[in-house]
Structure 1
Amino acid sequence: MRKRSHRSRAVVAIATAAVLGLAGCDASGGNEAAPEGTAVKAQPSPKPTPVWNRAPASVAAVGDSITRGFDACTVLTDCPEVSWATGGDASVDSLAVRLLGADGAAQHSWNYAVTGARMSDLAGQVEQAVQKKPELVTVMAGANDACRSSASAMTSVADFRKQFQEAMDTLRESLPKAQVYVSSVPNLLRLWSQGRTSQLGKQVWKLGICPSMLGDADALDAQATKRRNTVQARVKAYNQVLKEVCAKDRRCRFDGNAVFDYHFGTDQLSHWDWFHPSTIGQARLAEIAYRTITAKDPVT
């Protein structure tokens, strides 16, 4: 009887060990090698979240009169409804409308640009914009830093850099993950060459629109040419600053000088002042911004 009892307990122990061994293998996720000929299914790696979101859900705009749609609808008046950045006018098809749809743009886009603003004003506009917690902030500023009473009165490149960096720092303090689209400063020399074909435009310019570039519009002497070239060189330097500061921030995209390089004609200029974009010009700016923001890779 005793021998049979010992033999029974031994059998039970062996069976129990075998069951536990199988259970342990399953629970560990397969520490033992798979039987020969059995395919092992690899677990897919999770896709990393891209740094740049090509479909942001909200937009805030900062900058100057161009973003306010100044002189695009009526003389000497802001017309934000045709703004390239946030306007709702169907003929412009603004950046916000392209990204969010008409209803989405009406509810989730905001325009904090101010006519006459210079780069020194940008940080204050950003402080307002961050209150809305936008996923995308658009920046178009710098034309008024070059458009001064004279070439000598233009904002220095060093100050321009400091002021733009301050605006970016202000944004990052509140919204470290917000995306930023930075437009290049428009080509003021081309603006002069296009607008001076209009007698009306030249008369309006005499009222004080961008004197550093547009003053004495018909003058072609060495002094006038040097003045215009000095302003143009400063605009190019500003754009280099925008590119360099933006490049240090992985959630910032510069347009690669697309706005500066765009060969606009008189149809893209306001026929009120032959300086600011018309509604057609605003639409072209929206196209450039949308293309840059939705591109798979940033412009290099």
Structure 2
Amino acid sequence: MIGRLGPVLAPVILASFAAPAQAAPEAQPVPAVMAALGDSISSGFNACGWYVRCGARSWSVGDNPQVSSHYLRLSQMSGTLHKHNLNFAAPGATSADLLGQVRKAVEAKADYVTILVGAQDACTRSEQSMTPVETYRQRLDAALAELRAGMPTARVLIASIPDLRRLWQVGKASALARTFWTVGRICQTMLAKPDSTARADTERRDRVRARVAAYNKAAAEACAAFGPACHTDGGAVFSYRFTLDHLSRWDYFHPNTAGQRILAQLTFEHGFTWLDPR
């Protein structure tokens, strides 16, 4: 999910996903238990109803065939995952909630964990209240350390945070989207004054986008430090040029079924190589 890059921003954003080079990954056995961690996106919020979770349509662990989640793809390869799809992601969660979610995953003995968190760290009421990048990194490091201590063989996929400025770009011309954003006070750091072209608002949006890119870079570095058992999507989600058709009509913010399907496809293609036991 990315906006059009200018000639100056392009190398900066692309560099934000650079991580230390790693050896070619080995194929992994299909997990026995998987868990989704993170925020409302992974919980499937607003994907099938009015302001409710819809775990069945989660890109990670959903069981709705329309989404073709990681869980369903892996289940088709092996029956070991049947009904072992746990969703600990929570609407409104930030990086501060990740450690608690990891502890639940450890208790459940999840050996494959997906993480998508950080949109709510940037989507605050003011720029000043956004989570500092250093704090975001520290929280990811602590969560991954807890996972390694409790489940040493767990595999981790960290998905990049979607491009919030792209969200503004695709929705700003829609009166309905602008109304939902304003009345619901949704992601005010990015979506406040959605029809404004004033320099101050343009620069604010650019700074919020840069903060998201910095979170993604920090997550990639934390993943690299964890080792070969952790993969990222290489910025595929952030870079995807999604459209209004991928957004829930309940809030014009969360992915709808089509959006969740794209998330599943992008992250699965850029994640682990799995051993097909058949």
Q: TM-score w.r.t. structure 1 length?
A: 0.79
In the alignment, the residues of structure 2 paired with residue 209 and residue 105 of structure 1 have an alpha-carbon distance, to the nearest angstrom, of 36
Contact 1:52 1:179 in 2 (8 A): no
Instruction: Please show how residues 139-150 of structure 1 align to structure 2 within 5 Å.
Output: 139-150=115-126
| Gap regions ≥5 residues in structure 2 | 1-24
- Per the alignment, residue 247 of structure 1 pairs with 224
In the alignment, the residues of structure 2 paired with residue 294 and residue 122 of structure 1 have an alpha-carbon distance, to the nearest angstrom, of 22
Pick the structure with greater CA Rg: 1
97, 108, 115: which one pairs with 1:121? 97
State the secondary structure of the residue aligned to 1:181: strand
Deviation of residue 197 (structure 1)? 2.3
Deviation of residue 239 (structure 1)? 0.5
54, 63, 68: which one pairs with 2:43? 68
In the alignment, the residues of structure 2 paired with residue 189 and residue 61 of structure 1 have an alpha-carbon distance, to the nearest angstrom, of 25
92, 111, 127: which one pairs with 1:135? 111
> What do the CA deviations read for 1:100-119 (whole angstroms, capped 9, x no partner)?
13975551110000100000
In the alignment, the residues of structure 1 paired with residue 105 and residue 273 of structure 2 have an alpha-carbon distance, to the nearest angstrom, of 24
Paired residue type of 2:117: A
> What do the CA deviations read for 1:128-182 (whole angstroms, capped 9, x no partner)?
0111212210000000000000111100011111111111111011011100000
172, 175, 188: which one pairs with 2:148? 172
153, 157, 165: which one pairs with 1:189? 165
- Per the alignment, residue 214 of structure 1 pairs with 191
- Per the alignment, residue 264 of structure 1 pairs with 242
State the secondary structure of the residue aligned to 1:240: helix
255, 259, 278: which one pairs with 1:281? 259
Contact 2:157 2:231 in 1 (8 A): yes
Q: Higher relative contact order by CA 8 Å / sep ≥ 6: 1 or 2?
A: 2
Structure 2 CA distance for partners of 1:104 and 1:82, relative to 1, 3 Å: farther
State the secondary structure of the residue aligned to 1:107: coil
| Gap regions ≥5 residues in structure 1 | 1-49
State the secondary structure of the residue aligned to 2:194: coil
State the secondary structure of the residue aligned to 1:293: coil
256, 271, 275: which one pairs with 1:293? 271
Paired residue type of 1:200: L
Residue 83 in 1 paired to residue 61 in 2? no
> What do the CA deviations read for 1:63-96 (whole angstroms, capped 9, x no partner)?
0000011111112111111000111111111110
Structure 2 CA distance for partners of 1:294 and 1:253, relative to 1, 3 Å: closer
- Per the alignment, residue 108 of structure 1 pairs with 84
- Number of residues paired by the alignment? 247
Contact 1:55 1:294 in 2 (8 A): no
Question: Identity rate of aligned residues, in percent?
Answer: 41
Contact 2:26 2:273 in 1 (8 A): no
In the alignment, the residues of structure 1 paired with residue 269 and residue 29 of structure 2 have an alpha-carbon distance, to the nearest angstrom, of 10
State the secondary structure of the residue aligned to 1:248: helix
In the alignment, the residues of structure 1 paired with residue 270 and residue 85 of structure 2 have an alpha-carbon distance, to the nearest angstrom, of 18
- Per the alignment, residue 30 of structure 1 pairs with none
Paired residue type of 1:229: D
RMSD (Å), alpha carbons: 1.6
In the alignment, the residues of structure 1 paired with residue 46 and residue 83 of structure 2 have an alpha-carbon distance, to the nearest angstrom, of 25
Contact 1:192 1:213 in 2 (8 A): yes
Deviation of residue 56 (structure 1)? 2.5
State the secondary structure of the residue aligned to 2:207: helix
184, 203, 210: which one pairs with 1:233? 210
More off after superposition, 98-107 vs 210-219: 98-107
In the alignment, the residues of structure 2 paired with residue 103 and residue 85 of structure 1 have an alpha-carbon distance, to the nearest angstrom, of 17
